């Protein structure tokens, strides 16, 4: 186990760097993409994949039981809640005209969702 320590440190640090690069890619996408839905598509990557990578990396670096479980709790909670927020934002964006129809390949909700509240 003690011989494995430095290797785990480097693997964990590499995972954290990968998560940070995902966050950077999302930030660039958030700046450059044209409408709310595509920006959300870019922004939800670091919220799930990047954060889980950072959680795993930090857990590999810390290697103490209480901290590892708390970090896994953070990852699991983020995996549960990020889709809820994304769903709310996507629905609101579609209803309030934050979507550019010329950018959609096909619109399954056309003529169904648009007129008014459900």
Partner 1 sequence: MSTAAVLLTVALGVLGLSLLLVTVRFLRGPSALDRLVSLDAIVAVVMCGLMAHVALTHDSATVPVVVAISLVGFLGSSTVARVVGRRGSAGGDGNGDEER
Q: Which residues contact partner 1 by CB under 8 A?
A: 6, 9-10, 12-14, 16-17, 19-21, 23-24, 26-28, 30-31, 36, 39-40, 43-44, 46-47, 50-51, 54-55, 57-58, 61-62, 64, 66-67, 70-71, 73-74, 77-78, 81-82, 84-85, 88-89, 91-93, 95-98, 114, 116-118
- Which of 8/105 has CB closer to partner 1? 8
Contact between residue 60 and residue 8 where contact means Cβ atoms under 8 Å apart: yes
Instruction: Give the distance, in angstroms, between the CA of residue 92 and the centroid of all CA atoms in the same chain.
Output: 19
- In DSSP notation, 40-78 reads HHHHHHIIIIIHHHHHHHHHHHH--HHHHHHHHHHHHHH
Q: Please state the closest distance from residue 107 (CB atom) to partner 1, in A.
A: 16
């Amino acid at each position: 186990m003690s011989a494995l320590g430095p290797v785990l440190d480097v693997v964990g640090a590499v995972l954290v760097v990968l998560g940070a690069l995902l966050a950077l890619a999302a930030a660039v996408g958030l700046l450059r993409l044209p409408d709310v839905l595509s920006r959300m598509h870019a922004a939800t990557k670091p919220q799930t994949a990047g954060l889980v990578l950072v959680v795993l990396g930090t857990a590999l670096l810390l290697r103490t039981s209480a901290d590892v479980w708390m970090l896994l709790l953070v990852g699991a909670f983020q995996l549960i809640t990020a889709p809820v927020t994304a769903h709310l934002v996507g629905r609101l964006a579609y209803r309030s005209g934050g979507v550019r129809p010329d950018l959609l390949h096909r619109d399954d909700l056309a003529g169904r969702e648009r007129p008014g509240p459900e």
